[in-house]
């Protein structure tokens, strides 16, 4: 497009949003320089530069350029949303709320603005308002994992655990779809880690609701996927990953639950597989000793 129509910049703000999401700082820098050379006084150009500064963690500079975009065009809804994101990163929740509301007044289908409103109200410790906006966002974007996960966290804070579990299931379904798409997410490490975290959280919520059977199913799935992931080709790097601690945590919980149910064979099976860190290994040994004591008592 730039080769055939070098002065056509209408699409560049969308392209810069994609580059921002991908973390492509070098390419975003190139696009920002290109747009500035073609037409510096365009709202699209200002948004591209703002995205570059935001990705560089220069949030005050990003705000300057998003506000410049709005000076040039007050009806530029995307710039209001991006401005809200920057205020939220600087923990200026009230300014973020104002920006997001302006964005929605101009574009009622901007799910990012609804999501931002949910985050802002969550920061202000108003979970009911937050949940309302998360629900509006997810209606517009039902395949977005971030929205379902955020909504699950909000529901937990409201003690609505069954609904939180349902939201986590939807988030997990989104990650499953993404991971099955080799063109997009096969190598996305952060997505796999978040999936493990959500499976572990789902197990914890089921346990809190005294549904040990469903908790066990979620935790076993978490453990299986964690072992598969951490035994992959990047073993050396993964060994330094703090998320790797999810394996002994899951093994200990499964061993403890089996011990509670009087299944000493299963309890020993999981306890014996805990290798590190030391405190987890010590807990595993206590579980093994408890198994021996209970069997002798029986």
Angle value at C-alpha 43, between 100 and 144, nearest 5 degrees: 45
Domain contains 170: no
CB 56 within 8 A of CB 25: yes
Domain end point (choices 73, 91, 109): 73
Domain count of the fold of the chain: 2
pLDDT digits (tens, 9 = 90+) for 258-286: 999 999 999 999 999 998 888 899 999 99
Q: Measured between alpha carbons, how far is 143 from 151 in angstroms, rounded to an integer?
A: 13
**CA separation for the pair 268, 198 (Å, rounded):** 26
Q: What is the CATH number for 48?
A: 1.25.40.10
Determine, yes or no, domain membership for 217: yes
Q: Is residue 175 part of a domain?
A: no
Residue 93 lies in a domain: no
Domain, as residue range, for 33: 1-73
Query: In angstroms, rounded to a whole number, what is the distance separating the alpha carbons of residues 4 and 6?
Result: 6
Residue that wins the pLDDT comparison between 271 and 6: 271
% the chain with pLDDT above 70: 93
According to the model, what pLDDT value does residue 244 have?
Answer: 66
Task: Kindly state the average pLDDT of the residues 113-133.
Answer: 97
Average pLDDT, the chain: 91
| Per-residue pLDDT reduced to its tens digit, 55-85 | 999 999 999 999 999 999 999 999 999 999 9
The answer to whether residue 165 sits within a structural domain is no
What is the predicted pLDDT for the residue at 180?
74
In a domain, 106, yes or no: no
CB contact set of 86 (below 8 Å; sequence gap of 6+): 50, 54, 59, 62, 63, 66
Domain end, chosen from 43, 73, 103, is at: 73
Q: Is residue 245 part of a domain?
A: yes
Which residue carries 């590190």 as its tokens? 276
Instruction: For residue 227, say if its preceding peptide bond is cis, omega within 30 degrees of 0.
Output: no
28, 43, 73 - which closes a domain: 73
162 is a domain residue: no
């Amino acid at each position: 497009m730039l080769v055939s129509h070098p002065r056509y910049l209408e699409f560049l703000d969308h392209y810069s949003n994609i580059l921002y999401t991908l973390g492509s700082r070098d390419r975003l820098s190139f696009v920002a320089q290109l747009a500035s050379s073609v037409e510096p006084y365009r709202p699209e150009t200002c948004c591209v530069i703002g995205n570059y500064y935001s990705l560089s963690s220069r949030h005050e500079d990003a705000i300057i350029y998003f506000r410049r975009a709005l000076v040039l065009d007050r009806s530029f809804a995307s710039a209001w949303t991006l401005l809200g994101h920057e205020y939220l990163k600087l923990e200026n929740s009230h300014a973020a709320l104002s920006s997001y509301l302006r964005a929605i007044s101009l574009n009622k289908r901007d799910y990012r603005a609804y999501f931002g409103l949910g985050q802002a109200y969550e920061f202000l410790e108003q979970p009911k308002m937050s949940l309302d906006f998360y629900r509006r966002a997810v209606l517009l974007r039902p395949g977005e994992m971030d929205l379902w996960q955020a909504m699950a966290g909000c529901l937990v804070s409201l003690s609505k655990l069954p609904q939180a579990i349902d939201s986590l299931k939807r988030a997990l379904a989104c990650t499953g779809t993404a991971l099955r798409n080799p063109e997009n997410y096969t190598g996305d490490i952060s997505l796999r880690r978040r999936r493990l975290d959500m499976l572990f959280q789902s197990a914890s919520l089921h346990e809190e609701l005294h549904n040990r059977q469903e908790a066990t199913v979620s935790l076993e799935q978490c453990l299986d996927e964690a072992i598969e992931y951490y035994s992959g080709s990047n073993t050396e790097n993964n060994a330094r990953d703090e998320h790797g601690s999810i394996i002994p945590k899951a093994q200990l919980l499964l061993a403890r639950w089996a011990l509670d149910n009087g299944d000493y064979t299963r309890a020993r099976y999981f306890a014996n597989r805990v290798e590190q860190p030391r405190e987890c290994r010590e807990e595993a040994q206590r579980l093994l000793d408890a198994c021996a004591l209970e069997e002798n008592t029986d």
